[in-house]
Structure 1
Amino acid sequence: MFSYTFQWKQAFARLPVMLEGAVVTIEIALLSMLIGIALAVLLTGFRLSGNRVLSGIAATWVEIARNTPALFQIYMAHFGLGSFGLHLSPYTSLLLGITFNNAGYLAENFRGALKAIPDTQTRAARSLGMTPVRAFGHVVLPQMLRIAFLPMTNQMVWAILMTSLGITVGMNTDLYGVTQDLNALTFRTFELFALAAVIFYLITKTVQIGARLVAARLFRY
């Protein structure tokens, strides 16, 4: 017979602490995206450079990021590098693992976006007297961002959710880690994790709605 007694007051009393953890979650996800985008642009350049070595490095990165679990990538950052004497904090290991994953997925998104833009766009810009840099910045880049924007939004949502894996390397300052610690103190498992799930949901929905508004503003034409 069901005899569980809900005690929501205990969970809501811990809400300020959980929101502090949510800030850390957003911080890690945002940093991993910013660094991941920069690395993805670099990897995309490697893939399209025609240099076998650079192309091979980029292809290997993308293959590992896209075809191994994110948990494995975080473990390698924390325990793998630790085996070689490079001991990282749980925060840094989580950030490094998610960034590695983001860069791999985004690099493939960027490469696909660039492939979707006809070469005639660049040739037309060059025929108007633009330098290669200006042609890329004013003609190719806006179209690439338009194509890759929604996949970037999806990756941001995925990065937010991936932060919950930090608990496996001892991360306890993000939303999931804080919730786990509070659960160990209060044993209000259902209430605390239900509340954490709602916070995760609100964060990701805010990102998605915000992205749609930005896209409607920037990509109207």
Structure 2
Amino acid sequence: MFKYSFHWRQVWQALPDMLWGALITLEIAALAMILGTIIGVLLALAKRSNNRAFGAAASVWVEIARNTPALFQIYMVYFGLGSLGVRIDSYWALLLGITFNNAGYLCETFRGGFKAIPETQTRAARSLGMSAGRAMWHVVLPQMFRVVFYALTNQMVWSILMTSLGVVVGLTTDLTGVTQELNVRTFRTFEYFFAAAVLYLVIAKLFTLSARLLAARLFRY
């Protein structure tokens, strides 16, 4: 017979700590997304270039990021580099691991976005006297980011959820880490992890809604 006793009062008392952990989660996800976007654009450009070395290096990065578990990538940063004498804090190990994973996925997203921009756009910009770099910065990149905007939104949600892997490398300040610490002290596993799951759901939905509202404002024409 089901006799579980729910202790939600402890969850309410711990809610400020969990909300602070949620802020750390958002911080890591946002930084990993920004860095992953920058690297992803560079990787996509490398794969589009005529330089075989750059293209091969970008392909290796993408293949590893997309075809190995994200958990292994975080392990390699934290434990792998640690075995070589490079000690990295669990916060930075998680951030670098998610950034590596994001860059690999975003590279292919951006490569598809670049293909969606007609070559005539670049030629028109060059005919107006723009250099190749200025044409890329002022003409191609803005249109490309518009094409891949919703894919970027999905990747950000994935980054938020991926921060939960930080607990395996000892991170205790993010939402999952705080929840695990509370669970260890009280053994109220169901209550705390249910509350954490709700917070992850709310964060993801709020971000998705915000992104849609932003898209409706930015892409009206």
TM-score tier, shorter chain, comes to: over 0.9
Map 1:47-86 → 2, pairs under 5 A: 47-86=47-86
1:136, distance to aligned residue in structure 2 (A):
2.2
> Which amino acid is the alignment partner of residue 6 of structure 2?
F
1:138, distance to aligned residue in structure 2 (A):
3.0
1:132, distance to aligned residue in structure 2 (A):
2.4
| Equivalent in the alignment of 1:102 | 102
Q: Helix, strand or coil for the counterpart of 2:50?
A: coil
Q: Which moved more, 1:200-209 or 1:130-139?
A: 130-139
Q: Percent identity?
A: 62
1:153 matched to 2:135? The reply is no
Q: Helix, strand or coil for the counterpart of 2:148?
A: helix
User: 1-side partners of 2:27 and 2:190: how far apart?
Assistant: 26
Q: What is the RMSD computed on CA atoms of the aligned residues? A: 1.1
Task: Give the number of equivalent residue pairs.
Answer: 221
1:134, distance to aligned residue in structure 2 (A):
3.2
1:69, distance to aligned residue in structure 2 (A):
0.6
| Equivalent in the alignment of 2:181 | 181
> Which amino acid is the alignment partner of residue 50 of structure 1?
N
> Which amino acid is the alignment partner of residue 29 of structure 2?
A
Query: How far does the alpha carbon of each residue in 1:158-202 deviate from its partner, in whole angstroms, 9 at most, with x for none?
Result: 010001011111111100010011011111111111110111011
User: 2-side partners of 1:19 and 1:51: how far apart?
Assistant: 47
1:128, distance to aligned residue in structure 2 (A):
3.2
1:139 matched to 2:152? The reply is no
User: 2-side partners of 1:94 and 1:130: how far apart?
Assistant: 40
Q: Helix, strand or coil for the counterpart of 1:86?
A: coil
> Which amino acid is the alignment partner of residue 86 of structure 1?
V
Scaled by the length of structure 1, the TM-score of the pair is 0.96
> Which amino acid is the alignment partner of residue 121 of structure 1?
Q
User: 2-side partners of 1:138 and 1:86: how far apart?
Assistant: 40
| Equivalent in the alignment of 1:36 | 36
User: 1-side partners of 2:43 and 2:129: how far apart?
Assistant: 28
| Equivalent in the alignment of 1:202 | 202
> Which amino acid is the alignment partner of residue 147 of structure 1?
V
User: 1-side partners of 2:120 and 2:210: how far apart?
Assistant: 33
| Equivalent in the alignment of 1:12 | 12
| Equivalent in the alignment of 2:171 | 171
1:125, distance to aligned residue in structure 2 (A):
2.4
1:23, distance to aligned residue in structure 2 (A):
0.9
User: 1-side partners of 2:134 and 2:215: how far apart?
Assistant: 23
User: 1-side partners of 2:174 and 2:44: how far apart?
Assistant: 31
Q: Which moved more, 1:185-194 or 1:123-132?
A: 123-132
1:37, distance to aligned residue in structure 2 (A):
1.1
1:139, distance to aligned residue in structure 2 (A):
2.4
1:131, distance to aligned residue in structure 2 (A):
3.0
Query: How far does the alpha carbon of each residue in 1:22-61 deviate from its partner, in whole angstroms, 9 at most, with x for none?
Result: 1110110011011111111211221111111111110100
1:141, distance to aligned residue in structure 2 (A):
1.6
Q: Please list every run of 5 or more consecutive structure 2 residues that lacks an aligned counterpart in the other structure.
A: none
| Equivalent in the alignment of 2:90 | 90
1:116, distance to aligned residue in structure 2 (A):
1.4
